Amino acid sequence: MRPPRLAIGIAASLFIAVLLVVFARPGGTYVVAVLGHAIHVLAALFATLAGIYAYRLLTFRTPQGRIVGLLTIGMLLNTVAGAILLIYDATLRSYSYPSFADFVWVAAYLPQLAALVHGCHRIRNLGHGARMFGFLIAWLLLAISVAVSLIVPMLQDPTVDTLTKIFNVLYPSLNLAVVLLTGFLAMVLWGGAFTWSWGAIFLGMFLLASGALSFAYLGGKGLYLTGSPSDIFWIAGFVFIALGFVHQRQILETPKGWR
């Protein structure tokens, strides 16, 4: 089932825009920062609108409705956080870390984790043992390498204050949790009607986590600037999540002729 042309068009436009900003870097650091955040906000907004589009066929009374609804709230908070950072970049030019936007970003994980925990709790894991085992091993290796290369060095850094340390640990930890839970759902539902939609949502969450981990790693070394190649992960992440929501809507739409 092919996504609608509008969704493909928006996805392609966002990819082209972020590639232009990252590699052509038009107008210097300030313009790149503002444009980079603007594209981030648009991509998160795309995922939010796609989530609303999918949710309109569902109800909060079903697990599927609660999962899509809460994930969409998470995407909306991502959009708000990105918009706050865009305003900071456009007006203040420099701001402290963690900023108010970071508090909103962390808050965005709460509905997402609630959705995924609920999904994993409600769903029965019927089969696919080898695939699930492989995924859990891969996740465990990722978690260990993130803990060793990112979390422990950040915790041991004496030059960083406590609040910054908390956020530095929260971002990778929350991302790892989201990847684990989304991956579990995608593995369980693999092979059915929702293979592609949950596969795309999982890929999207994995790319968002890759963006956040790259940000944490580069930020820790003082190398991160908005408009870095790692920003492509975020845009791609939101785009895949949006396409996953759109596909879910397509699967569930009322069949032609039955109204």
Partner 1 sequence: MAQLTERFRANDVTIFLCPGEKHQTALESLAQESQRTYSGAVIVSYRQPANVLNQSLARAKIDTAKFFFVDVMTSTTHKLEKSPNTMFISSPGDLTELGLMLSELLRSRAFPVMIFDNVSAMLVYQEHDAVVQFLHNLITKCRVANVRLAFIMSQEEGSIQLLKDLQMFMDDVIELSAQELMEHTVG
Interface region with partner 1, contact rule CB under 8 A, candidates 71-79, 89-97, 115-123, 215-223: 115-123
Q: Which of residues 25 and 128 has its CB atom nearest to partner 1 in the complex?
A: 128
Q: How far is the CB of 70 from partner 1 (least distance, A)?
A: 14
Interface region with partner 1, contact rule CB under 8 A, candidates 84-92, 151-159, 192-200, 226-234: 192-200
Q: Which of residues 194, 206, 233, 245 is near partner 1 by CB under 8 A?
A: 194
Instruction: Name, in order, each residue with C-beta under 8 angstroms of 132's C-beta and a sequence gap of 6 or more.
Output: 125, 184, 187, 188
Q: Which of residues 67, 101, 232, 241 is near partner 1 by CB under 8 A?
A: 67
Q: Which of residues 25 and 118 has its CB atom nearest to partner 1 in the complex?
A: 118
Contact criterion met (CB below 8 Å) for 199 and 247: no
d(CA 175, CA 69): 19
Residue count, binding to partner 1 (CB under 8 A): 29
Q: Which of residues 27, 127, 129, 134 is near partner 1 by CB under 8 A?
A: 127
DSSP string, 39-86: HHHHHHHHHHHHHHHHHTTS-TTSHHHHHHHHHHHHHHHHHHHHHHHH
Binding residues vs partner 1 (CB under 8 A): 1, 57, 59, 61-64, 67, 119, 122-124, 126-127, 188-189, 191-194, 251-259
